[in-house]
């Protein structure tokens, strides 16, 4: 039994053929998936997908890259969704400095991202739901904000982890989980592979980030939750354990972190 701890089933690439992808999940023994929010205008659709399928859960949040012209995110907006029975997490949220050069001069101080990230942490603590963290070229600020605003009280997973081992250890020392995506299967992903070998068995999750980042041998194609199997098998081989053992650990970790989710 495997769980895809992070995917985007609401995206058209998956949603338009959702029944087929859910059948492929079942065939590959990927029993559950977490559909992750990225924008305020896709949260209703995500919750509807979760409502329609017993084995799908939802999270609510706004991705750090989203500018939200004409929309002001508030605590109240997210808290109302967090109360829904199928909503088990807050996010994805965090910081992303990768595209700073594309921003207007007034936006480059990233204050707007920091404020939104802090709001998500506060909502997670209010709702007692864990955070799904996106960090790209921003790990120092991400962890500093999480420490200052007591994200540990809610719990968190560092999603699609691509940082080095030293930064993985910093996240683990703060009590957070680390989730590995299909990137680990890429030939040159030595840094991610080192982390995947190191993470303690009680802090490891697996994910697809579908429809993105399909693992080898499907790289370049539309990713989907059934492909969790290939990422999990690769990590199991790296760690020198059976697929069954890794699946058991990562599934238990999922339901421990996302404690509102029911098997």
Q: Is the Cβ–Cβ distance between 38 and 92 less than 8 Å?
A: yes
Was domain 2-257 assigned CATH 3.40.50.970? no
Can you say whether the dihedral through the CA atoms of 156, 122, 113, 214 is positive or negative? positive
Identify each DSSP E strand in 61-176 by its residue range.
Answer: 87-96, 131-136, 156-158
Q: Report pTM.
A: 0.95
Q: Could you tell me the residue ranges of all domains in the chain? A: 2-257
Instruction: Give first-to-last CA distance, the chain, whole Å.
Output: 11
Print pLDDT tens along the chain (263 aa). Answer: 999 999 999 999 999 999 999 999 999 999 999 999 999 999 999 999 999 999 999 999 999 989 888 899 999 999 999 999 999 999 999 999 887 666 655 566 788 899 999 999 999 999 999 999 999 999 999 999 999 999 999 999 999 999 999 999 999 999 999 999 999 999 999 999 999 999 999 999 999 999 999 999 999 999 999 999 999 999 999 999 999 999 999 999 999 999 999 88
Q: Report which of 33, 116, 21 is spatially closest to residue 77, judged by C-alpha positions.
A: 116
């Amino acid at each position: 039994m495997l769980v895809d701890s992070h995917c985007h089933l609401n995206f058209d690439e998956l949603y338009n053929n959702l029944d087929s992808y859910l059948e492929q999940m079942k065939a590959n023994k990927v029993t559950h998936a977490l559909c992750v929010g990225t924008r305020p205008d896709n949260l209703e659709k995500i919750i509807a997908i979760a409502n329609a399928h017993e084995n799908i859960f939802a999270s609510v949040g706004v991705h750090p890259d989203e500018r939200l012209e004409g929309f002001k995110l508030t605590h109240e907006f997210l808290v109302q969704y967090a109360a829904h029975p199928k909503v088990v997490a807050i996010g994805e949220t965090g910081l992303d400095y990768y595209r700073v050069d594309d921003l207007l001069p007034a936006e480059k101080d990233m204050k707007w991202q920091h404020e939104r990230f802090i709001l998500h942490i506060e909502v997670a603590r209010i709702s007692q739901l864990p955070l799904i963290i996106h960090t790209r070229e921003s790990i120092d600020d991400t962890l500093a904000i999480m420490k200052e605003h007591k994200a540990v009280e809610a719990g968190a997973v560092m999603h699609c982890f691509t940082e080095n081992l030293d930064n993985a250890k910093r996240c683990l020392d703060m009590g957070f989980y680390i989730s590995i995506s299909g990137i680990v299967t890429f030939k040159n992903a030595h840094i991610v592979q080192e982390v995947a070998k190191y993470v303690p068995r009680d802090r490891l999750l697996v994910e697809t980030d579908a429809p993105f980042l399909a693992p080898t041998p499907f790289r370049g194609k539309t990713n989907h939750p059934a492909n969790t199997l290939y990422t999990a098998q690769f990590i199991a081989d790296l760690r020198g354990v059976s697929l069954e053992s890794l699946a058991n650990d990562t599934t238990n970790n999922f339901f421990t972190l996302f404690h509102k989710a029911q098997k």
